[in-house]
Amino acid sequence: MNRVGGAQPTILDVAARAGVSKSAVSRVLSGTGRFSDETRERVERAAAELGYVANAMARGLVSGRTHTIGMLVRDASSMLYTALHAVMEQRASELGYRVVTTTGVGRVEDEKSALAALVSMRVDGLVVCSGLLPAADIAEFAPRIATVVAGRPELHPALSSVYCDEVDGGHQIADAVVDAGHRDVVVLSVPRADAITQHARSVAMTARIRMRGANAVDIDASFVRPAADIAADVVEMMRESGATAVMCPTDRMMLDLCDALDDLGVDIPSDVSVTGFDGVYPLASDWIGFSTLQQPVERIGREAIDLVIGRIDDPSRTVEHRSLRGTVLPGRTLRRR
Amino acid sequence: MNRVGGAQPTILDVAARAGVSKSAVSRVLSGTGRFSDETRERVERAAAELGYVANAMARGLVSGRTHTIGMLVRDASSMLYTALHAVMEQRASELGYRVVTTTGVGRVEDEKSALAALVSMRVDGLVVCSGLLPAADIAEFAPRIATVVAGRPELHPALSSVYCDEVDGGHQIADAVVDAGHRDVVVLSVPRADAITQHARSVAMTARIRMRGANAVDIDASFVRPAADIAADVVEMMRESGATAVMCPTDRMMLDLCDALDDLGVDIPSDVSVTGFDGVYPLASDWIGFSTLQQPVERIGREAIDLVIGRIDDPSRTVEHRSLRGTVLPGRTLRRR
DNA sequence: TTGAAAGCGATACCAC
DNA sequence: GTGGTATCGCTTTCAA
């Protein structure tokens, strides 16, 4: 086992030291069954003296429960997932569960193996937070493990989900842009294969802008494209078609774009307005002032945990899909014109 | 076990379907020992058809290895830990390990239990990223599990560590402030009990400013104090003692302070210069322009993983402490005067 | 109330 | 090469 210098004490060590059977130790430490006060006292002292920590593998193996929820995250460095993580951890701990997180390091294959790692740990429930992994790969385990998809619209019949209504969000932020008087708008458009949610947003934004009678131009914003290239395209559209606003599918991309536009000598918002999507701290802070659509991260995280634990407790529960509305954060990067 | 509708298939199910013994299945799936091509074929097909995922608990129980590194994080929503997490995940996966993360939800007791959860999972190694948990609580497990403290100076004789040289960092950023011509500087000071690293930074900043012959005033920035109160104090010091710069122990606190100063009508940097500490994306981005000390997060994360895996492979390795220098990020919130 | 014994699902060491 | 068997550390009947 994981011994650097000494071995981990086992229940037998505790039993020997306490002068009782391992059954007694098990009962005391797990608080089940009957035992005398004296037994309890002796066991607790022995356990403390030895620094005993029960082996969760052995325990889980026999009990069939780990009291653990596995969280699969696309990208550990994304602030959105970070925020979700914090909320879920909090809520899960209130309900007596731990959250363990794994991530892929980018590719779909990695994510599959990260998911398999969670499954192999026999977590009681699974919360998948990734816009990358195909639903089929997730659904494979759904019949065996309570599974909830969080943060992306997923209407797969075997999977429950909680997510921000991306279409509504795209419409809301597009409305804000048009309402601010912009008639020629650039929309950074992410291919579906890069990220399902971001793709949906771009599409919704473009559609709404046109529906409102303004002009929308899509610019390719595949993940492989450098921000500098995208910024150059934006500048070109400003010159050619008189674009006065740029809409980004995430705050992160917005930040990269702002950086790149800055390098090109373009000032925001006096030269061009820019909007984002996500609205997570710290970019959502007033001082930074991103104009963006704020996802209801708190609710998404909390309800994802509640849903998954609900299904753990009662596997017969039906699949459920909760679409939550986001809100526009005015910010200072979108200027009226 | 974690069954919502069906049970997870076991090695016996695979063996039965493949028409071989479970020993054979084990050999094929773990790639150890000898087996014929036909056996391999049959086993792999049966496993795939059943969607078999080996039970990591059973495996770990007998093999004594989990190929998993536990990461204890103070605060899942902190960008610094988030960045560390991403780097560690990447590096660990290169070396054939998974990272599982747990966090306390704030209090020391929570962190202890989060640590115990990791120990109970019998992770092969432990990386503790928290400025909160006392060294003694960590050291308790060090004789049994390879343990490395990352991101905070920890010279405990039983614990290896990798961290940013906080004192040097504090000096560097203080030098930048004095070099920019500031003679009266406010330092937000965090109590040791709130966060060890942040405390060390404040102390180093104050000391350096005075050493350089400028004036430093400490303001209490305990975690319980609202940013608005701190901002009010700062304004008072600007009026009373003519302070022209404020130094914060973290970028996050800096952001909160900027927000609060903004509310008070104070402009940064024309009314007052502000500096931070950490230098992690996204606040470190050029466009946002925080003047701050950037920690070498990439190296900290990478070396923490290398150290812990080194100790897993060779438990006799001696304890090691690596102090890494940060660099000043000029930014735009520190103005020459 | 307590202890002995039977597994949980895998690996590893055996003979064959 | 292959399959039986002991074993990992614990929970859970089941007798005593």
Residue with the larger pLDDT of the pair A113 and B75: A113
**What percent of chain A has a predicted confidence (pLDDT) above 70?**
98
Mean pLDDT of A134-151: 93
Q: How confident is the model at residue B6 (pLDDT cuts 50, 70, 90)?
A: low
CA distances from A150 to A171, A249, A299 (A): 21, 18, 10
Q: How confident is the model at residue B62 (pLDDT cuts 50, 70, 90)?
A: very high
Q: Which of A4, A54, A86 sits opposite B315 (nearest CB)?
A: A4
Mean pLDDT of B309-336: 95
Give the pLDDT confidence of B195-204 residue by residue, as tens digits.
Answer: 888 999 999 9
Contact A85, A71 (CB under 8 A): yes
Cβ neighbours around A264 below 10 Å, total: 12
Q: How confident is the model at residue B1 (pLDDT cuts 50, 70, 90)?
A: very low
Give the pLDDT confidence of A154-199 residue by residue, as tens digits.
Answer: 889 999 999 999 999 999 999 999 999 999 999 999 999 888 889 9
Closest CA to A119 of A102, A94, A97, A136: A102
CB contacts, 8 Å: B267 with chain A: none
pLDDT (0 to 100) of residue A3 = 45
pLDDT (0 to 100) of residue A2 = 45
Contact B85, A77 (CB under 8 A): yes
Mean pLDDT of A81-89: 92
Q: Which of residues 3-32 of A touch strand D (CB under 7 A)?
A: 7-8, 10-12, 22-23, 25-27, 29-30, 32
Q: Which of B4, B86, B311 sits opposite A144 (nearest CB)?
A: B4
A69-83, B37-51, B240-254: least confidently modelled range: A69-83
pLDDT (0 to 100) of residue B4 = 53
Cβ neighbours around B181 below 10 Å, total: 13
Q: What is the 3-class SS of chain B, one letter each residue? A: CCCCCCCCCCHHHHHHHHCCCHHHHHHHHHCCCCCCHHHHHHHHHHHHHHCCCCCHHHHHHHHCCCCEEEEEECCCCCHHHHHHHHHHHHHHHHCCCEEEEEECCCCHHHHHHHHHHHHHCCCCEEEEECCCCCHHHHHCCCCCCEEEEECCCCCCCCCEEEEECHHHHHHHHHHHHHHCCCCEEEEEECCCCCCHHHHHHHHHHHHHHHHCCCEEEEEECCCCCCHHHHHHHHHHHHHHHCCCEEECCCHHHHHHHHHHHHHCCCCCCCCCEEECCECCCCCCCCCCCCCEEECCHHHHHHHHHHHHHHHHHCCCCCCCEEEECCEEECCCCCCCC
Give the pLDDT confidence of A46-66 residue by residue, as tens digits.
Answer: 999 999 999 999 999 999 999
Asked whether residue B23's C-beta has any atom of DNA/RNA strand D within 7 A, the reply is: yes
- pLDDT for residue A5 is more than 60: no
Q: Which of A4, A114, A145 sits opposite B145 (nearest CB)?
A: A4
Asked whether residue A139's C-beta has any atom of DNA/RNA strand D within 7 A, the reply is: no
A233-247, B3-17, B270-284: least confidently modelled range: B3-17
Mean pLDDT of A111-118: 94
Provide the residue type at B310 as one letter.
G
Q: How far is the CA of B65 from the C1' of C8 (A)?
A: 18
Q: List Cβ neighbours of B212 (8 Å cut-off, separation of 6 or more).
A: B174, B175, B178
Q: How confident is the model at residue A4 (pLDDT cuts 50, 70, 90)?
A: low
Nucleotide showing the shortest C1' distance to residue A1 CA = D8
DSSP SS3 for A146: strand
Whether residue A117 and residue B124 make contact (CB cut-off 8 A), yes or no, is no
Nucleotide showing the shortest C1' distance to residue A26 CA = D11
Average pLDDT along chain A: 94
Q: How confident is the model at residue A76 (pLDDT cuts 50, 70, 90)?
A: confident
Asked whether residue B10's C-beta has any atom of DNA/RNA strand C within 7 A, the reply is: yes
- CA pair distance A280, A298, nearest whole angstrom: 10
pLDDT (0 to 100) of residue A105 = 76
What's the gap in Å between the CA of B335 and the closest CA on chain A? 18
Q: Which residue is nearest to nucleotide D13 (CA to C1')?
A: A23
Give the pLDDT confidence of A298-329 residue by residue, as tens digits.
Answer: 999 999 999 999 999 998 899 999 999 999 99
Q: How far is the CA of B292 from the C1' of D16 (A)?
A: 72
